Amino acid sequence: MLLAQPSFAGLAAKRIVFFAGKGGVGKTTSAAAFALARAYSGARALLVSTDPAHNLGDIFGVGIGDSITPISANLEAIEIEQETETRKYLDQVKRNLSKAVQTTMLDEVMRQIDLVAHAPGTAEAAMFDRMVSIILDESHLFDVVVFDTAPTGHTIRLLSLPELMGVWIKGLLQRRQRRNEDYSQLLADGEPMEDPMFEVLNRRRERAAQVSNLLLNSKVTGFVFVLVPEYLPIAETRRGIDQLSQYDLHVETLFVNKLLPESVSDPFFQGRLDQQQQYRKQIDADFPRQAKLDLPLLSHDINTLQSLETIARHIEQALVLRENVVSRS
């Protein structure tokens, strides 16, 4: 029976793991518990929280914030904030542009940049930039980097950015190159002119492409969808998996969270349990290609290290069990 199920043994081997899913299903909890489970088994793990209401610090009893902070044996964490990242990102863009733009135009250009601060896409681009820097510049210190992403639609936009950004930057570069050729025709008798922005944009394009390749490599990167056995999270998971697969990103694992204990006897909870069990069966039928890891509903919120450890132990055991099943097969 077990052998017929897709295995999630591969999940323990990924270097980058993203947690996606509807708001409130337990992405942050699962990501933190998964990172802890990997740390238990000796992997050096970095947990990246993008949750606007960061509570990892409370759970782990350590102030975390915007720099990589040791948490426990083999586990470090960082909390990244959309607002801070957007500000840093725009400052960087300004610095780059101030090298490239004539002084007379500088004020106008800076004003334009301040205007895009709240434009759609800017915050995503900023968060993506930070993700790129973590993956390319910081991940070599770790065996696995675990991202608890923002809710589904957002996540998918973030992930599709490498492709979009590739096209966008390519267009920009071509337009700039053409314009430079026109200028140099006028100003420098056709001699090519140096363009500092060309360097900057090209570098960004290269980095986005590098990350895109890592994300598309299923040996390196894993996508986990977290859901609870209810109607809407199942529907959203289906949509999310379809959307990701349009970008050639394949979800191999589902974490089915908040499962009631079978021992409930009260008629109200018995009713809930029946419903959960039906949806749980539906999850098996609807997602035959994904391995499912079941997680229990605890009697209280997961806001202490102890409760997080309970979930982490479940994950650790499930990974080990499945690894054994697979290696025996």
Ligand X SMILES: Nc1ncnc2c1ncn2[C@@H]1O[C@H](COP(=O)(O)OP(=O)(O)O)[C@@H](O)[C@H]1O
Reported as type and span, the H/E element at residue 93 is helix 82-100
13 forms part of the interface with ligand X (CB under 6 A): no
- Residue closer to ligand X, measured from CB, 268 or 285: 268
Least Cβ distance, residue 291 to ligand X (angstroms): 18
DSSP 3-state percent helix, strand, coil across the chain (nearest 5): 60, 15, 25
Q: Is 51 in the site for Mg ion (CB under 5 A)?
A: yes
Residue 80 binding partner per list ligand X, Mg ion, none, with a CB distance cut-off of 5 to 8 Å that depends on partner kind? none
Partner whose binding site includes residue 152, from Mg ion, ligand X, none (CB under 5 to 8 Å by kind) = none
Binding mask 207-246 for ligand X (x = CB under 6 A): ----------------------------------------
Place of tokens 């993700």: 131
Binding residues for ligand X restricted to 246-265, rule: CB under 6 A: 257-258
The option from Mg ion, ligand X, none interacting with 196 (CB < 5 to 8 A, set by class) reads none
Residue range at the interface with ligand X (CB under 6 A); choices 17-25, 73-81, 229-237, 275-283 = 17-25
User: Could you tell which of ligand X, Mg ion, none binds residue 24, using a CB distance below 5 to 8 A set by kind?
Assistant: ligand X
- The minimum distance between CB 228 and ligand X, in angstroms, equals 8
In the list Mg ion, ligand X, none, the entry touching 303 (Cβ below 5 to 8 angstroms by class) is: ligand X
**DSSP string for residues in 112-140:** HHHHHTTSTTHHHHHHHHHHHHIIIIIGG
Q: Which residues pair with 77 in a beta bridge?
A: 47, 69
Single out the residue of 229, 240, 223, 221 nearest to residue 294, CA to CA. Answer: 229
> Which of 7, 28, 86, 257 is in the footprint of Mg ion by CB under 5 A?
28
Q: Are 20 and 253 in contact (CB under 8 A)?
A: no
CB of 280 to ligand X, least distance (A): 14
Residue nearest to Mg ion (CB): 28
Give the helix/strand (H/E) hosting 280.
Answer: helix 267-286
Burial class for 37, CB neighbours closer than 10 Å (0-12, 13-18, 19+) = buried
Interaction pattern, residues 287-326, with ligand X; x per rule: CB under 6 A: --------x-xx--xxx-----------------------
Distances in whole angstroms, Cα of residue 212 to Cα of each of 38, 40, 146, 249: 24, 29, 16, 10
The whole-angstrom separation of Cα 304 and Cα 308 is 6
Neighbouring residues of 216: CB distance < 8 A, sequence distance ≥ 6 = 248, 249
Closest by CA position to 196, among listed 273, 62, 98, 286: 98
- 116-119 long-range contacts, CB within 8 A, separation 24+: 116/90, 117/86, 117/90
Q: Give the number of other Cβ atoms within 10 Å of residue 282's Cβ.
A: 13
Shortest reach from residue 90's CB to Mg ion, in Å: 25
The residue (of 169 and 259) whose beta carbon lies closer to ligand X is: 259
How many residues make contact with ligand X (CB under 6 A)?
17
Among 11, 17, 29, 221, binds ligand X (CB under 6 A): 29
Task: For residue 16, state whether it binds ligand X (rule: CB under 6 A).
Answer: no
**Contacts with ligand X, residue ranges (CB under 6 A):** 21, 23-29, 51, 257-258, 295, 297-298, 301-303
**Contacts with Mg ion, residue ranges (CB under 5 A):** 27-28, 51
